[in-house]
Amino acid sequence: MSHTALRRLSGALVLSAAALAAPLAGAAGFFGLAAVTARIPLLAVTGLLVVAGVGILHGLPAFALLGARRRQAAALLLGAGLAAAVAAAASITVFRPLPVPPAAAVPPGVRFWTLPTGSRIAYVHAPANGKPRTTPVVFLHGGPGTPGEGIPVGGAALAANGFDVYAYDQLGAGRSTRLSDVTGYTVARHVADLEAIRGVIGADKIIIVGQSWGGSLAAQYLAAHPDHVAKVVFTSPGALWLPALPGGDADPWARLTPSQKKRYDALTSSPRLLAASLLLNINPNAAHALLGDREADERFHELGVVVKDASSCPGAPPRTPHGNRQGFYVNQITSEDFRAVPDPRPALRRVRVPALIMRGTCDYVKWAATYDYRRTLPDSTLVMVEGAGHAIAGDQPAIYTAVLRAFLLDRHLPLPAYQVL
Asked whether residue 86 falls in the same domain as residue 232, the answer is: no
Residues 291 and 243 in one domain: yes
Give mean pLDDT, residues 84-91: 97
pTM > 0.85: yes
C-beta separation of 302 from 350 below 8 A: no
Same domain membership, residue 186 and residue 56: no
The residue out of 41, 62, 91 marking a domain boundary is 91
Same domain? For 162 and 134 the reply is yes
* Same domain for 200 and 251: yes
Which residues touch 163 (CB under 8 Å, ≥6 apart)?
128, 132, 133, 135, 136, 137, 207, 408
Of 132 and 83, the one with more pLDDT: 83
Q: Which whole number is the average pLDDT over 351-380?
A: 97
Which of these, 394, 92, 80, 396, lies nearest to 272 by C-alpha position? Answer: 92
The pLDDT value recorded for residue 64 is 86
User: How many angstroms separate the CA atoms of 99 and 294, rounded?
Assistant: 9
CATH of residue 356's domain is 3.40.50.1820
Nearest to 340 by CA among 218, 220, 179, 234: 220
Do 177 and 378 contact (CB within 8 A), yes or no? Answer: no
- Based on the fold, state whether residues 64 and 179 are members of the same structural domain: no
Q: Where are the alpha helices (DSSP H) in 34-136?
A: 40-65, 71-91
77 and 136 co-located in one domain: no
The reply to whether 149 and 248 lie within a common domain is yes
In the prediction, which pLDDT does 421 show? 59
Local confidence band at 39 (pLDDT 50, 70, 90 cut-offs): very high
What is the C-alpha end-to-end distance of the chain, expressed in Å? 81
Which residues fall within 8 angstroms of residue 31, CB to CB, at 6 or more apart?
A: 43, 278, 279, 282
Average confidence (pLDDT) over 96-114 = 93
State how far the alpha carbon of 252 is from the alpha carbons of 218, 255, 304, 379, in Å.
Answer: 22, 6, 11, 30
The band of 319, judged by pLDDT with boundaries at 50, 70 and 90, is: confident
Instruction: Tell me the mean pLDDT in the region 158-185.
Output: 98
Contact 193, 121 (CB under 8 A): yes
* Residues 124, 55 share a domain: no
Query: Domain for residue 178, yes or no?
Result: yes
Rounded CA gap, 344 and 151, in Å?
A: 29
136 in the same domain as 61: no
Do the domain assignments include residue 307?
A: yes
Task: Find the range with the poorest average confidence among 143-147, 247-251, 328-332.
Answer: 247-251
**pLDDT, mean of residues 6-13:** 82
- The Cα–Cα gap between 216 and 242 comes to 10
Task: Let me know if residue 101 belongs to a domain.
Answer: no
In a domain? residue 418: no
Looking at 41, 61, 91, the residue that finishes a domain is: 91
| pLDDT given at position 106 | 93
Look at residue 1 and tell me whether its pLDDT is greater than 60: no
Q: Are 385 and 400 in contact (CB under 8 A)?
A: yes
Distance between CA atoms of residues 304 and 174, nearest Å = 13
Average pLDDT on 161-165 reads: 97
Do 48 and 131 share a domain, yes or no? no
Q: Is the pLDDT of residue 323 over 60?
A: yes
Residues 56, 149 within the same domain: no
Number of structural domains the chain divides into:
2
Of 91, 119, 147, which residue constitutes the final position of a domain?
Answer: 91
| CA-wise closest residue to 414 among 395, 388, 394, 386 | 386
Q: Is 72 helix (H, G, I), strand (E, B) or coil?
A: helix
Alpha carbon distance 392, 312 (integer Å): 9
- Do the domain assignments include residue 349? yes
Q: Given a cut of 70, is residue 420 above it in pLDDT?
A: no
* Owning domain of residue 65: 3-91
Question: Is the residue at 350 inside a domain?
Answer: yes
pLDDT at 410 exceeding the cut of 70: yes
CB 235 within 8 A of CB 212: yes
Q: How confident is the model at residue 214 (pLDDT cuts 50, 70, 90)?
A: very high
**Phi then psi dihedrals of residue 149, to 5 deg:** -140, 120
